[in-house]
Amino acid sequence: MPDAAFEPARPQVLLGLIGAGIQQSLTPAMHQEEGRHHGLRLHYQLIDLEKFGGSPADLPGLLNAARKMGFAGLNITYPCKQAVIALLDELSDEARAMGAVNTVVNRNGRLIGHNTDGSGWARGFRRALPDADLRCAVLLGAGGAGAAIAHAALRLGVGELRIVDADAERAAALALELNARCEGHRANACVTAEQALPGATGLIHATPTGMAKLPGLPLDAALLRADLWVSEVVYFPLETALLQAARALGCPISDGGGMAVGQALGAFELFTGCEADPARVERHFHHLLNLRESR
Ligand code: NAD
């Protein structure tokens, strides 16, 4: 029997999430469990601005502290995804294009900003709907999640992206920015879903409607058609009213869990350099969601 005192220490990895109102986040448990499978002593700390009465103005102090304490990285969420950019040493191409950072990696004291939201959505989407017809997708919601997905959708090969937002100026600004960055004029803003959906092959939903605290449908269910694939971003609950309506029609669907898992896989790989196991992380995510739903 080897003496425990002489066992080589497992590598220690310190991670954290900076955001407001993040006490229910499943991210710490997802990273810690995957880290355990890779033989890492991974500690993931919630840094909740709401809990200590903080704001994005606290970011410089928090980043300096994380650097001094040897954090390997941080996830960043609302309301800090844009504010953090000015404080970083370097940005990945994806984060620069999206103008938002959800993952910061500490490389020998240099803080490098990444964005795994868009690529995470694409990972989940490809796993759920590998044969989806990408000719024309409607994106409902041009906020933080919608903007990240819009970039990823064009990278994935969506031929035309029609963007609808209750704030028409936001939809127009996103279309303008996408067209400036990507070849061809592939993004168009539409005023309503009724206007955007005819002829579309898919619908990506990226508004908060359907969340447990904001139940309901984000559009008239009569606009859905059986030949439309539907990609949802809301994951609590996993089965939103939109997915229920789409499922009842027989639409191919991709739920919001795919993006939640996909962005965590991307962040885990950036933080640790280890390749995460998608099926294992997905199983654990569903287990955590079931626990949360049963509370
Ligand atoms: P946000 O507030 O930045 O943006 C939401 C946008 O939706 C706004 O521009 C708003 O005007 C628009 N909107 C609201 N209702 C609308 C409607 N009925 N029709 C058209 N537009 C409408 O929010 P966000 O950060 O982009 O988050 C959106 C949702 O995505 C939230 O439910 C969030 O939990 C979820 N999300 C999921 C993941 C994941 O990993 N699955 C990741 C990030 C965000």
For ligand 1, say whether the CB of 113 is within 6 Å of any of its atoms.
no
Q: What is the pLDDT of residue 6?
A: 52
Q: How far is the CA of 149 from the centre of ligand 1 (A)?
A: 11
User: Percent of the chain, pLDDT > 90?
Assistant: 92
Burial 128-146, CB ≥16 within 10 A → b, else e: bbeebbbebbbbbbbbbbb
For ligand 1, say whether the CB of 103 is within 6 Å of any of its atoms.
no
Q: How far is the CA of 141 from the centre of ligand 1 (A)?
A: 6
Q: What CATH superfamily classification does 118-255 receive? A: NAD(P)-binding Rossmann-like Domain (3.40.50.720)
User: Which atom number of ligand 1 is nearest to the Cα of residue 210?
Assistant: 32
For ligand 1, say whether the CB of 172 is within 6 Å of any of its atoms.
no
For residue 295, name the pLDDT band (cuts at 50, 70, 90). Answer: confident
As a whole number, mean pLDDT of residues 89-102 equals 94
For residue 42, name the pLDDT band (cuts at 50, 70, 90). Answer: very high
pLDDT at 1 over 50: no
Q: How far is the CA of 210 from the centre of ligand 1 (A)?
A: 10
pLDDT tens column, 178-202: 999 988 999 999 999 999 999 999 9
User: Which atom number of ligand 1 is nearest to the Cα of residue 207?
Assistant: 7
Give this prediction's pTM: 0.93
As a whole number, mean pLDDT of residues 169-181 equals 96
Q: What is the pLDDT of residue 8?
A: 63
Neighbours of 69 (CB within 10 A): 11
Per domain, the residue ranges of the chain are 4-115+259-293, 118-255
Residue type present at position 259? M
For ligand 1, say whether the CB of 262 is within 6 Å of any of its atoms.
no
pLDDT at 4 over 70: no
pLDDT tens column, 191-230: 999 999 999 999 999 999 999 999 999 999 999 999 999 9
Whether 4-115+259-293 shares its CATH topology with 118-255 is answered yes
CATH of region 4-115+259-293, choose from 3.40.980.10, 3.20.20.140, 3.40.50.10860, 3.40.50.2000: 3.40.50.10860
Average pLDDT, the chain: 95
